[in-house]
Amino acid sequence: MDILYKVFVEPFLFMGEAPDLLIQTLWEGLVSGVLYALIALGFVLIFKASGVFNFAQGIMVVFAALILVGLYEKGVPAFLALILAAVAMLVLAIVVERVVLRPLVNQPDIILFMATFGLTYFLIGFGELIFGGNPREMITDALLLPQGTTELDAFGGSIRLQHLDIAAAIIASIMIGILAVFFSKTRIGRALRAVADSHKAALSVGISLNQIWVIVWFAAGLVALVAGIMWGARSGVSFSLQIIALKALPVLILGGFTSIPGAIIGGLIIGVGEKLGEFYWGPLVGGGIETWLAYVIALLFLLYRPQGLFGEKIIERI
């Protein structure tokens, strides 16, 4: 009975006794959730266009951030380095379309998935060759990202808001909103949905798969760049950052691989769930819940709702 009390009663009593800590935990979870959603959006865009989970999205986050920091360390002004990093992601999108996607068109999905594995390890090796393997610091001051902390007296205590977290949440939310509107309201967005439904049908009405793939991979590259800046400012820029990026996989399982709203909702659920689990239930298991809770939630969804909250339920006739 004691363990049941500690699991199902004590944490909720603690939430009521210290609402300021609850609000603090929820805020930190929301910030992480928005950043998870931003990374997941890159996966969703590519999956909608090709039907393939892009395993390389995580290393693209690292690679984009390393390009930005590397150019700045070579004396390039910060905002020019930002533009050049975006151009580098466009070049990467064109190269991927020409070298990887175009030769594999109409191949089984598993072939394309394995190709993204190869792309991942190529970018890791290429990145280490150019930038080395040492961690770097994100150029937050040069990019004019705010620093410092604001403390609010509320709910009988104090709530601390990191200015960088506020900026990260705002920038990520704006980018998610822009991409969501762009891919749902524009002609390119309609073409993307047509490609997602059927490559052959899209080709039959004059939609260029090559152009759509370049646009989508470039958009995913821009998402990777912004995510790399925000996560790099919080955790530093290193190749281990791709592990954080792969946290988007549970987000996609929750929200659905083809749903932009699902990526947003899934990211918030994972972000808030991790922080609440770590703070209130973590001491019961010695901590570390934040590293595995997302995958447990994803496993439960795979068992009972494999298409996710907003994904399409696909029925295949065999």
Q: What is the DSSP string of 64-84?
A: HHHHHHHHHHTT--HHHHHHH
CB burial readout 57-79, b (16+ within 10 A) else e: bbbbbbbbbbbbbbbbeeebebe
How far is residue 41's CA from residue 39's CA, in Å, rounded to a whole number?
Answer: 5
* Most confident among 9-23, 122-136, 184-198, 236-250 (mean pLDDT): 122-136
CATH 2.60.200 fits 2-304, yes or no: no
Nearest to 245 by CA among 270, 228, 220: 228
- End-to-end alpha carbon distance in the chain: 50
Q: Does residue 318 have a pLDDT over 60?
A: no
Q: Does residue 42 have a pLDDT over 70?
A: yes
pLDDT at 93: 93
Mean pLDDT of 206-216: 82
Q: What percent of the chain has pLDDT over 90?
A: 16
Residues in a beta bridge with 310: none
And the tokens for 121?
């390890």
Q: Tell the burial category of 304 from Cβ atoms under 10 Å away from its Cβ (0-12, 13-18, 19+).
A: exposed
Please state whether beta strands 149-154 and 157-162 pair in parallel, antiparallel, or not at all (unpaired): antiparallel
pLDDT at 68: 94
Identity of the residue numbered 109: D
Spatial neighbors of 175 by CB under 8 A, at least 6 apart, are 38, 222, 223, 226
pLDDT at 38: 86
Q: Does residue 256 have a pLDDT over 60?
A: yes
Identity of the residue numbered 217: W
Compute how many other C-beta atoms are within 10 angstroms of the C-beta atom of residue 241: 22
Q: Does residue 133 have a pLDDT over 70?
A: yes
And the tokens for 249?
């996989």
Q: What is the pLDDT of residues 140-156, one digit of tens each?
A: 888 888 888 888 887 77
Which pLDDT band holds residue 198 (cuts at 50, 70, 90)?
low
pLDDT at 60: 92
How far is residue 317's CA from residue 229's CA, in Å, rounded to a whole number?
Answer: 45
Q: Does residue 317 have a pLDDT over 60?
A: no
Q: Does residue 316 have a pLDDT over 60?
A: no
How far is residue 252's CA from residue 43's CA, in Å, rounded to a whole number?
Answer: 8
**CA distances (Å), origin 61, targets 5, 12, 115, 119, 252:** 42, 37, 18, 13, 17
How far is residue 201's CA from residue 190's CA, in Å, rounded to a whole number?
Answer: 13
pLDDT at 246: 76
Mean pLDDT of 105-121: 84
Between 318 and 211, name the one with better pLDDT.
211
Mean pLDDT of 233-259: 83
pLDDT at 71: 92
Q: What is the pLDDT of residues 80-102, one digit of tens each?
A: 999 999 999 999 999 998 888 88
Mean pLDDT of 4-16: 77
Of 29-33, 60-64, 176-180, minimum mean pLDDT range: 176-180
Which pLDDT band holds residue 79 (cuts at 50, 70, 90)?
very high
